[in-house]
Amino acid sequence: MERAREPLLDAKSGVTNQLIDFQWKLGMAVSSDSCRSLKYPYVAVMLKIADPSGQVKNKSFEMTIPQFQNFYRQFKEIAAVIETV
Amino acid sequence: MLLDLSEEHREHLAFLPQVDSAVVAEFGRIAVEFLRRGSNPKIYEGAARKLNVSSDTVQHGVEGLTYLLTESSKLMISELDFQDSVFVLGFSEELNKLLLQLYLDNRREIRTILSELAPDLPSYHSLEWRLDVQLASRSLRQQIKPAVTIKLHLNQNGDHNTKVLQTDPATLLHLVQQLEQALEEMKTNHCRRVVRNIK
């Protein structure tokens, strides 16, 4: 009987980047150089990612509320699928 | 200060006395145009056909003339020094005068073009800003924390770069004060004296 081999690519194998930290904040833009009166809520995400060599990089991005809701929906779907595995 | 012309350079320039002054003047015009906009090898072929020589010869002649003009302009050599430098080439009186006139007519513009070749640090292009209020974060809810987000647009060697920075209003005020202080320095006696002496 063949022994099941370890998968060559897994989340810990040192081939992909690793998510080290996930920080977020909710802010509201109230004024800018192009528009003096704003009421613009947004979610800002700051990821800390380590590449296979161990070097850590910061990546940040912003989402509008509708964008964030879409983002959130993706994770809900991922979580639902994992339940079935 | 005299120009030191290499053997190869002199060989290239040796083509000039073999053609009319009108042709040399035209080469001079082409040389400056190439400095302004970059070279166009097709011009060499057209000229080579008309003059009945190889296009390499024309190219060397124009490039030799360009180099003569840029080196003279770079060093800002005097009329006398230019004349003495060219004298060693053994050209006719008329050709020497033509070359001198080419130099004097074009050196200011050539110097402006050469000044753009200096290495370039990223420089300011424009700035966008946004005043934000942070309402919550992963570690703390129910906040009211003002922040200024700045998108700095930079230019470097023709490339466009942006940097996004964020700070709180107090630090921004401090930044503004530091920059104002730097500008104030221009008005001190010391800086005034240095600037006057350079001019």
Per the CB < 8 Å rule, is A27 touching B138?
no
Confirm or reject contact between B134 and chain A (CB < 8 A).
yes
Of the candidates B128, B135, B138, which has its C-beta nearest A27's C-beta? Answer: B135
Residues of chain B with pLDDT under 50: none
Q: State the pLDDT at residue A10.
A: 55
Q: Secondary structure of chain A: what % helix, strand, coil (to 5)?
A: 25, 40, 35
Residue-wise pLDDT for B55-107, tens only, equals 888 899 899 999 999 999 999 999 999 999 998 888 889 999 999 999 999 99
Q: Is some CB atom of chain A closer than 8 A to the CB atom of B165?
A: no
**A31-57 pLDDT tens trace:** 999 998 999 999 999 999 998 888 999
Tokens of B7: 């053997």
Classify each residue of A5-15 as buried b or exposed e, where b means 16 or more C-beta atoms within 10 Å of its C-beta: eeeeeeeeeee
Minimum distance, in Å, between the CA of residue B173 and any CA atom of chain A: 17
Predicted confidence (pLDDT) per residue in A7-32, tens digit: 555 556 567 889 999 999 999 999 99
Q: Is A34 touching B (CB cutoff 8 A)?
A: yes
Decide if A28 and B132 are in contact by the 8 Å CB cutoff: yes
Percent of chain A with pLDDT over 90: 72
> Distance from B166 to chain A by nearest Cα, in Å?
12
What interface predicted TM-score (ipTM) does this complex get? Answer: 0.72
Q: What residue spans of chain A are helical by DSSP H?
A: 65-84
| CA distance to partner chain B, nearest, from residue A82 (Å) | 25
Q: What is the pLDDT of residue B180?
A: 95
CB A8 within 8 A of CB B116: no
Residue of A nearest to B127 (CA): A33
- Which pLDDT belongs to residue A4? 54
How far apart are alpha carbons B16 and B33 in whole angstroms? 18
SS3 for B151?
strand
Instruction: Report the residue of B138, B166, B172 to disrupt the A interface, i.e. the one with the largest count of A CBs within 10 Å.
Output: B138
